[in-house]
Amino acid sequence: MGLLDKEFSDGNIVIAPVEDLFNWARLSSIWQLGFGLACCAIEMMATSMSHYDFDRFGVIPRNTPRQADAIIISGTVTLKMATRIKRLYEQMPAPKYIISMGSCANCGGPYWEHGYHVLKGIDRVIPVDVYVPGCPPRPEALLEGLLKLQDKIRNESLRKKSA
Amino acid sequence: MSLKTETMVLNMGPQHPSTHGVLRLELKIDGELVLDVKPHLGYLHRCFEKHAEAMQYNQVVPYTDRLDYLAAMGNNWGYALAVEKLMGIQVPERVEYIRVIVAELQRIASHQVALGSNAADIGAFTPFLYLFRDREHILSIFEDTCGARMLYNYIWVGGLSHDIHPDFVKKVKEFVSYYKATIIELDNLLSYNKIFIERTANIGVLPLDTAINFGASGPALRGSGIPFDLRRDDPYSIYDRFDFEIPVGKGLQGQVGDCWDRYYVRVREMEQSLRIIEQAIDHIPEGDVQSAIPKRIKPPKGTVYTRIENPRGELGYFIISDGNTNPFRVKVRAPSFVNLEVLGELCKGHLVADVIAILGSIDIVLGEVDR
Amino acid sequence: MKNAEEIFNILKDNFGDAVIALDKDTPTEAVITVDPLKIHLVGEFLRTNEDMMFDSLMCLSGVDDANGKKVKDADGTDIIEGGTLSVYYHLHSVSLKHKITLKVSAPREDAKVESVENVWKCADWHEREAFDLVGIKFLNHPDLRRIMMPYDWEEGSHPLRKDYKNPEFYQGMKVPY
Ligand code: SF4
């Protein structure tokens, strides 16, 4: 956080750059599009369930792209699905963030060589902010990916959106 | 005056919170009434069969994990059994026992997700959290044993990739006694919950002859009232040594073969799996789990079809060997693929919201439907 | 409960030339070869006859036998000419508990097999899959479309054929790695 620490001791005034305030608000409530693709989706589910509890980072699954801030591409993207994902991405309001979860979404994973119907990496279709490797990545790895995304958002500038 | 009405086509999926993955359903509806359902598959077609042809026999095992990713142990086992049968390999007793135990643990873990997501789809979110809490116990046992939480690559042709962890027996016993007491929680929370019964009883009734003609298997078939279980009816491995019951749908809350029956069969099956584990866990013989693994897997020319009872039903592997180190053709008879076909029949005449309940009660895994 | 030999003889008595051969030499299961244009009649008989009662079709698989001649294509890759495509049917009887495997083969260039969709309902999607991935045409199938691949995938391109070549692009997306 850092933003509000000890700032209240002298009066109820917080002085902060508006950028920091916006970024802080954004990174602490990343609503993800509830959207599972393949095996990785089960680990994503496990991450948001009781044991690992995604909620404590402010991540709540939303079921419609219009209300989502981030989308976790959790699994193998096939050619048939890729066009739909592109459309989902375009439906999301900016700022929007993408976490590519698992080898399949990163680069085709185990299907890179003979997968005639597998897209070899979601970044061929939409831009990706954070890549989480693994097949499937452990929930801890996904949490790490989320923290990385938060770091990225923290350093964003309002003037020019990075990436 | 009468209002003019029209039928409407509604698309559900591929991105939809309740389709269990990337399935697209094309619903033809008249108001809220479903007239017809057409599933469109293939959004997760990962070319398993092409990969199997390009790989050596033992390299195919990790790909079988990714078919039904909720029941990876069963997939490994089915494939290993098929190749073993083709080559005439007899696996050691110790391996058989371990395989049975991990497969039954896997069945419980898989049913937990199935029941939880079925309930969550129709609004009961709390049981989902409870079931995932218990599932973590099983996953941690598996992680000790083979290093992975979900996709294990554990059961190899002729043996296992690792021997069990020294704590395995202790941990499994702890889990069995813990879960025996906890499963009652599920009954109290969900099975006899008034709202849940209202949503599932008498919905999506699957008559027995339709079920057989459509080739349904697993809980979807047993929910219709026939005790057909491959562990009993076409025994493989050492299942004939264990004493267990086959739960069937009895229509306790409505008609035989409704969604509630299919749900309930799964709950009772978890208990039976615990029973099998209890019988097996104390009798694991000593031995080497890798002694029967062939140096080079090169089966003779021929074809083989084996099937095992996976959590979702009959998982079949059809392998054609041309005498090389790669399979010539591997076809997977995926239980979800066949069970899903019956969806159109079940949904006719129900409301749109019931489609969710029915789909959840059939319990599909798209990785296996599309392969 | 009947073994493959008995079933073969009964089929031979009823269908004569349509039942072609019995292959017993495979290590695990015997395979009965049937005429592809009569398979629906044989299937119907197997399902309804009291001694057979094969009420469940466990599996239906399309196979590219790759037994034709290998020739070089214009761009230097191998393609297969001639030979056959096959379909395997694995049947099981829930009541009598016996199993049998049937096989039909049809010429690769124009593979036509009668559909068994109205004998066993579950053949529907299996046949669509065999059509999609191997390219076998099932006659009298109610809805023979692609099932796994996108509907607008290149006509006549069937991925599980042994000489399949992947396209470079699909809808502007690069396909190979
Ligand atoms: S990366 Fe591995 S676990 Fe994730 S979707 Fe791909 S195959 Fe499944």
DSSP B24: E
Alpha-carbon span C145 to C127, nearest angstrom: 10
Residues A132-143, mean pLDDT to the nearest whole number = 89
Q: Which of residues 185-224 of B touch C (CB under 8 A)?
A: 210, 212-215
Q: Is B210 helix (H, G, I), strand (E, B) or coil?
A: helix
Q: Which of B134, B138, B166, B159 is nearest to B150 (CA)?
A: B138
- The reply to whether residue C97 touches residue B233, judged by beta carbons under 8 angstroms, is yes
Query: Residue B149: what pLDDT?
Result: 86
Alpha-carbon span B50 to B331, nearest angstrom: 10
Query: Residue B1: what pLDDT?
Result: 65
Alpha-carbon span C54 to C2, nearest angstrom: 11
**Pocket residues: Cβ below 6 A from ligand 1:** A 38-40, 75-76, 102-104, 109-110, 135-136; B 66, 151
User: Read out DSSP for A108-142?
Assistant: -GGGTTT-TTB-S-GGGTS--SEEE-SSSPPHHHH
Reported as a single tens digit per residue, the pLDDT across C153-162 is 888 788 888 8
- Of all helices (H) and strands (E), which one includes residue A33? strand A31-33
Ligand 1 centroid, distance to C58 Cα (angstroms): 29
Alpha-carbon span B138 to B311, nearest angstrom: 15
Query: Residue C35: what pLDDT?
Result: 86
| Cβ–Cβ < 8 Å for B159, B289 | yes
Q: Which amino acid is at B126?
A: T
Q: Is C154 helix (H, G, I), strand (E, B) or coil?
A: coil
Query: Residue B19: what pLDDT?
Result: 67
Query: Residue A131: what pLDDT?
Result: 92
Rounded to 10 deg, the angle between the B93-121 and B72-87 helix axes is: 140
Q: Give chain C positions within 8 Å (CB) of B371.
A: 148
For atom 5 of ligand 1, the residue with the nearest CA is: A75
Q: Which of C53, C93, C98, C148 to mutate to test the interface with B (most CBs of B within 10 A)?
A: C148
CA B337 to chain centre: 11
Alpha-carbon span B46 to B368, nearest angstrom: 10
Q: Which of B189, B193, B227 is nearest to B208 (CA)?
A: B227
The mean predicted confidence, pLDDT, of chain C is 84
CA distance, residue B165 to nearest chain C CA (Å) = 35
> Model's pTM, two decimal places?
0.90
Query: Residue C140: what pLDDT?
Result: 87
Query: Residue C72: what pLDDT?
Result: 79
Decide if pLDDT at A2 tops 70: no
Residue of A nearest to C164 (CA): A116
Alpha-carbon span B181 to B185, nearest angstrom: 8
Positions in chain B short of pLDDT 50? none
Residues C28-49, mean pLDDT to the nearest whole number = 85
Q: What is the largest CA-CA distance in chain A?
A: 65
Decide if pLDDT at A160 tops 70: no
Q: Which of C58, C57, C71 is nearest to C108 (CA)?
A: C71
Reported as a single tens digit per residue, the pLDDT across C39-74 is 888 888 888 888 888 888 888 888 888 887 787 777
Query: Residue A163: what pLDDT?
Result: 54
Query: Residue B33: what pLDDT?
Result: 86
In the CATH hierarchy, which fold is given to the domain comprising B48-370?
Cytochrome-c3 Hydrogenase; chain B (1.10.645)
Burial of C133: CB neighbours in 10 Å, binned 0-12, 13-18, 19+: buried
Reported as a single tens digit per residue, the pLDDT across A104-134 is 888 888 888 888 888 888 888 899 999 999 8
Q: Within a 10 A sphere around the Cβ of B349, how many other Cβ atoms?
A: 9
Q: Which chains would you list as touching A if contact means 3+ CB atom pairs under 8 Å?
A: B, C
- The reply to whether residue C122 touches residue B214, judged by beta carbons under 8 angstroms, is yes
Q: Give chain A positions within 8 Å (CB) of C149.
A: 80, 117
Alpha-carbon span A128 to B29, nearest angstrom: 38
Query: Residue A5: what pLDDT?
Result: 62
Mutate which of B48, B66, B68, B368 for ligand 1? The one with the most ligand atoms within 8 Å of its CB, which is B66
Ligand 1 centroid, distance to A106 Cα (angstroms): 10
Query: Residue B6: what pLDDT?
Result: 82
For atom 2 of ligand 1, the residue with the nearest CA is: A135
Alpha-carbon span B280 to A153, nearest angstrom: 53
β-strand partners of B25: B12, B39
Decide if pLDDT at C18 tops 80: no
Reported as a single tens digit per residue, the pLDDT across C122-172 is 888 888 888 888 888 888 888 888 888 888 888 878 888 888 888 888 888
- The reply to whether residue A80 touches residue C150, judged by beta carbons under 8 angstroms, is yes
* Per-residue pLDDT band at C21 (split at 50, 70, 90): confident
Q: Which of A74, A70, A80 is nearest to A152 (CA)?
A: A70
